[in-house]
Structure formats: C-alpha cells, structure tokens
Amino acid sequence: MASITELPVLTLRWLKPTVVDETDRFGLALITIQTLVLVATAAAFATQSVWTMPLLLAFLLVSATVWVTRQAAAARTLTFLMTISTVVTLGLIAFFLFAEALPVFERMGVRIILPLEGEMWDPNTNTFSLVPMIWGTAITTIVAILVAGPLGVAGALFISEIAPEQVREIVKPGVEILAGIPSIVYGFIGFTIINPYVSSELSTGFGALLPIGVVIGFMALPTVVSVAEDAISTVPESMKSGALAMGATDWQTMKSVTVPAAFSGISAAVLLGLGRAIGETMAATVMIAHVKELPQPAYDVFDSGETLTTLIAGNFGPAVGTEYLLSALFAAGVVLFLIVTAISITSQYIEERMKRKLGGEV
C-alpha cells in the first residue's frame, strides 16, 4: 500500500503528464500538505467543527503558495481536487435524498408512483401517491417546451442568420436580460394578470395548468435562444457558403446545412429548457392552485393540479417534525432527480448519435 507521502506522486501520474518531478521534494511536500488540509477541511465541515474556517484559510494559504512556486502543478491539482469534490457532493446529495425518502418508500412501496383509489395524498392517514404531481409536472413541462422549443430555435436562427448587425446587437442582450429576471416576477405577473384573465375569459379554475406551462415556457425561452444561438454560430461559414454557391436559398441552407450541423447544440438547448421547466418552483408555486388530484379528464390542461416542485415548496413547513410527510417530499425530490438524470443521459445519447451521423458513421 502506498504511503501518504506517495499520494501526490500517484495523483500526478494519474493526471498525466506529470507536472512535478518526483525528486522535487519541496513541490511534493506542498501538494501533500494541500491535499491533507483539504481533506481535513471537508471533515471539519461535515462534523460542524469550529476548526472549519481556520482549516479553510490554511488551505487557501497553501494553495496560494503552491500557485506561486509551482503554478502548473497547482492548476492541475486544484482542478483535479475540485472535480473529485463535485462528484462526491453529487453522490452525497443522491444518498441523502434516497435515505430520507426510504421511510415512505417502505410504507407505500411501488404504490407511491401508482394511482390509488380514493384520496391519493392524505397526510392524516399517511397515504401518499405522487401520480397527480408527476402528471401535473408532465403537463406543464409539455406546454412549456411547446412554447420555448420552436420559439427558441426560431429566435436563435433569426439572431444568428437573419438579423442585421444593428438588430442583433439589440436583440441578443435583450434576450440575455430576460434570462436574468427572477422567477418570482414571472409568477407574480402570472398570478395577477394571466390567471384572472384565463379563469374569466375561458371559464377555467383559478391556477390552471395551461397558463402555468406558458409562463414557464417564456421563462425557459431565453435559455433556449442563447444556447441554440451559440451552437448555430459555431457552424463553419465555409459550409454555409458552399451550399449557397451550389444554388441553395438562405432558407434551404439553414434547413439542410446549419440546423443539422448544429443539431447537437440545439438539442442541448431544448433539453436545458426542458430541465428549467421541470425544475421551476417559485413561478409555479405562486400561480398553481395546489390541488393534489388528477385533472378530470386527465388530459384537461385547463384544470388545476400540482407539480413536484410546488408540492415540496408548499409543504416543507408543515412537514417539519412529521416522519412520513417529510419523507414523501424527499420522495418527490428523488423522482425529480431521476427525471433530470434521464434527461441528461438522453441528451448525451443524442449528441453522440448526431456526431456519428455527421461523421458519416452508421
């Protein structure tokens, strides 16, 4: 087994090429101290020790010393340690979610994601089914992506390929400013203007799922536009010029060359918008009616409902001190975690498939 003084050498060998000579004892000592202090800081933080802040300051001091004396080694080591920290943090979050949700999973079993007869969400009898919330999340997300997807891609194409330079300089910063508006502002506008209008003009219940999905779609729109526009702008100009030289129109070039070449980036933009729609909390919490039942009929987007995020936001206060209700909220978090993970895997699959297709592979 390697001794503790050999850990930096082994780490740097794994991070090839090696950036510190094994004979550089001073550099190895600094990196050893840096690694040990970081581990001690993490342990102190986990145990809520009073030494957390002094150890953090010591880590920063050692890191600064390594950066001044061995900059290449410091950069490589710090990036490696931060990557490991990110992975460990993600693993701890996942473990905590599943551990806290375990009591309600043990009580309800698979029924927690199945429709139940009678009341599906009743904390008084410890009956919990996430079906109404999953369905509400699905409806609002579908509506949101139908708004943000087509409009976002169209906006990205306009900014990147059609708009004059003067218009582009105004529209692009405007879109980025929209992304910075707090979600509670969208929710307040939806609550005071959109909800009353829809309920009065369309004779729907207050807090229907359709207007909530539309508002979330407009919130996700700047993200889709920005990411898709960046992807489209990376398409080589020679590809577009070649299509135009062959007699293709601007529209044919965008449809047959630009969009396919940037498809992986465009799909990533749409999936980012999808993730924003699924995870939106405050705007939906303000607008929604918090009805923990399935719409009647289920496909009625003008009926009220609940989403997974609004369920957590609206019940975390009453859930404190109650075992099963709090565990049920963590179970909703587990479902959200699994959905986002599935979206991430799907996006990577689409990107790899598109790369193979553009590269001429089957």
pLDDT in tens, 146-156: 999 999 999 99
| DSSP single-letter state for residue 59 | H
Does a structural domain hold residue 116? Answer: no
Q: Spell out the residues 6+ positions from residue 127 whose beta carbon is closer than 8 angstroms to its own.
A: 108, 116, 119, 120, 121
The answer to whether residues 336 and 299 belong to one domain is: yes
In this predicted structure, the answer to whether residue 4 has a pLDDT above a threshold of 60 is no
What is the number of structural domains in the chain?
A: 2
Q: What is the pLDDT of residue 7?
A: 46
Residues 198 and 277 occupy one common structural domain? yes
Tell me, yes or no, whether 264 and 349 share the same domain.
yes
Does 167 share its domain with 76?
Answer: no
Going by pLDDT thresholds of 50, 70 and 90, the confidence category of residue 22 is low
**What is the predicted pLDDT for the residue at 216?**
92
What is the pLDDT at residue 317?
Answer: 76
For residue 351, tell me if it sits in a domain. Answer: yes
Q: Which domain holds residue 283?
A: 121-358
Mean pLDDT of 107-126: 85
- Identify whether residues 44 and 185 lie together within a single domain: no
* Distance from chain centroid for Cα 30: 37
Predicted local distance difference test score (pLDDT) of residue 199: 82
- Domain-terminating residue out of 73, 92, 111: 92
Distance CA 81, CA 87 (A): 10
* 246 and 321 co-located in one domain: yes
Task: Take residue 133 and report the two structure tokens written for it.
Answer: 């919330």
**Predicted confidence band of residue 5 (pLDDT cuts 50, 70, 90):** very low
The neighbour count for residue 242, using CB atoms within 10 Å, is: 13
The strand pairing partners of 304, in sequence order, are 208
Asked if the structure places residue 345 within a domain, the reply is yes
Q: What is the DSSP letter of 160?
A: I
For residues 190 and 327, state if they share a domain: yes
Q: Which strand (E) or helix (H) includes residue 82?
A: helix 71-108
How large is the average pLDDT for residues 259-288? 85
pLDDT score of 169: 87
Considering only CA atoms, give the Rg of the chain: 26
Q: Report if residue 112 sits inside a domain.
A: no
In a domain, 103, yes or no: no
State the chain's maximal CA–CA distance in angstroms: 79
Which residue type, as a one-letter code, is found at position 301?
A: V
Q: What is the pLDDT of residue 21?
A: 52
Note whether 70 and 153 are same-domain residues.
Answer: no
Q: How confident is the model at residue 53 (pLDDT cuts 50, 70, 90)?
A: very high
Q: What percent of the chain has pLDDT over 70?
A: 90
Token reading at 331? 């179970």
Does pTM top 0.85 for this prediction?
no
Q: For the segment 184-208, what is each residue's pLDDT rounded down to a tens digit?
A: 899 899 888 888 888 888 767 777 8
Domain membership of residue 268 (yes or no) is: yes
Angle at 161 between CA 156 and CA 167, to 5 degrees: 80
- For residues 61 and 185, membership in a common domain is answered with no
Strand segments, DSSP code E, in the chain are 121-122, 127-128
Confidence tier at 68 by pLDDT (50, 70, 90): confident
- Which region, left, alpha or beta, applies to residue 207 given φ > 0 means left and ψ of -120 to 50 means alpha? left
List pLDDT tens digits, range 158-168. 998 888 888 88
- Based on the domain organization, do 196 and 342 belong to the same domain? yes
Q: Exposed e or buried b for every residue in 165-192, given b needs 16+ CB within 10 A? A: eeeeeebbeebeebeeeebeebbebbbe
- One domain, residues 62 and 179: no
Residue 208 β-bridge partners: 304
In a domain, 108, yes or no: no
**Residue 107 is assigned to a structural domain of this protein:** no
Domain boundary among the residues 49, 71, 92 is at: 92
Confirm if 145 and 274 have CB atoms less than 8 A apart: yes
pLDDT of residue 24: 62
CATH number, domain of 298, equals 1.10.3720.10
Is residue 61 located within the same domain as residue 10?
yes
Instruction: Note the pLDDT of residue 297.
Output: 83
* 252-278: average pLDDT: 85
Helices (H), 109-189: 131-157, 165-179, 183-189
Q: What is the mean pLDDT of residues 119-146?
A: 90
d(CA 327, CA 128): 10
